[in-house]
């Protein structure tokens, strides 16, 4: 039995949707990066608990909706 937020969510980043705004990198640079085209690169699909809050913030702030969390 596990309630919401009990596990560490995995991140999904859709590079087809990303517009390269870079907000996620500014919010959690240990988890997200951008390639030469400015598109998001996921450095850490399973973020450590310490990064969880910043990851949630990055997902909320992404202007294109390219980022999502998969609760397991
Ligand atoms: S915040 Fe969203 S649109 Fe901007 S680089 Fe990150 S994934 Fe792409």
CATH code for position 14: 3.30.70.20
In contact, 34 and 41? CB cutoff 8 Å: yes
Q: Which domain, by its residues, includes 47?
A: 9-71
Residues 4-61 have pLDDT tens digits of 545 678 999 999 999 999 999 999 999 999 999 999 999 999 999 999 999 999 999 9
Q: Is the pLDDT of residue 2 over 70?
A: no
pLDDT at 66: 98
Q: How far is the CA of 63 from the centre of ligand 1 (A)?
A: 7
Q: How far is the CA of 43 from the centre of ligand 1 (A)?
A: 13
CB of 55 sitting under 6 A from ligand 1: no
Positive or negative torsion for Cα 51, 52, 56, 59: positive
- Domain count across the chain: 1
CB of 57 sitting under 6 A from ligand 1: no
How many residues comprise the chain?
72
Look at ligand 1, atom 6, and give the residue with the nearest C-alpha: 24
pLDDT at 9: 80
pLDDT at 72: 74
pLDDT at 55: 96
pLDDT at 57: 97
Has residue 49 been placed in a domain?
yes
> Taking the mean position of all CA atoms in its chain, how far away is CA 60?
9
Q: Phi/psi of residue 56, each to 5°?
A: -60, -40
């Amino acid at each position: 039995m596990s309630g919401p937020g009990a596990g560490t969510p995995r991140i999904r980043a859709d590079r087809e949707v990303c517009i390269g705004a870079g907000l996620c990198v500014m919010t959690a640079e240990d988890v997200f990066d951008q390639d030469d085209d400015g598109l998001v690169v996921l450095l850490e699909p399973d973020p450590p608990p310490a990064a969880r809050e910043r990851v949630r913030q990055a997902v909320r702030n992404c202007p294109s909706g390219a980022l999502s969390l998969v609760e397991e």
